[in-house]
Amino acid sequence: MHKVIAGWGLGYTGYSGWVPKIERAFVCHGADSSAVAGQSLSVDFPGDFDKDLAHGDTVGRCQGNR
């Protein structure tokens, strides 16, 4: 699986490129709208990350447990 994203932008010094290599990413697991905070999990990217999002987890850490 691909773990690298590339891009470019234009700033005050000219064009600049970026290439972050992403090994792991955070998802918020088990949170709901009734004030249940959920659990922040660090998962493999992109495989487990995509699976967790498909099951209803959200991107990033849960509120209250940063």
pLDDT digits (tens, 9 = 90+) for 42-64: 999 989 999 999 999 999 998 87
> Per the domain annotation, does 41 fall within a domain?
yes
Q: Write down the pLDDT at residue 12.
A: 92
> Per the domain annotation, does 48 fall within a domain?
yes
> Per the domain annotation, does 28 fall within a domain?
yes
Res. 2 pLDDT band, cuts 50 70 90: low
- Model pTM? 0.66
> Per the domain annotation, does 60 fall within a domain?
yes
> Per the domain annotation, does 38 fall within a domain?
yes
Average pLDDT value for the chain: 85
Q: Write down the pLDDT at residue 30.
A: 81
Domain that holds residue 28: 23-66
Torsion angle, alpha carbons of 63, 41, 21, 46, to 10: -110
Domains contained in the chain, number: 1
For residue 25, pLDDT beyond 90: yes
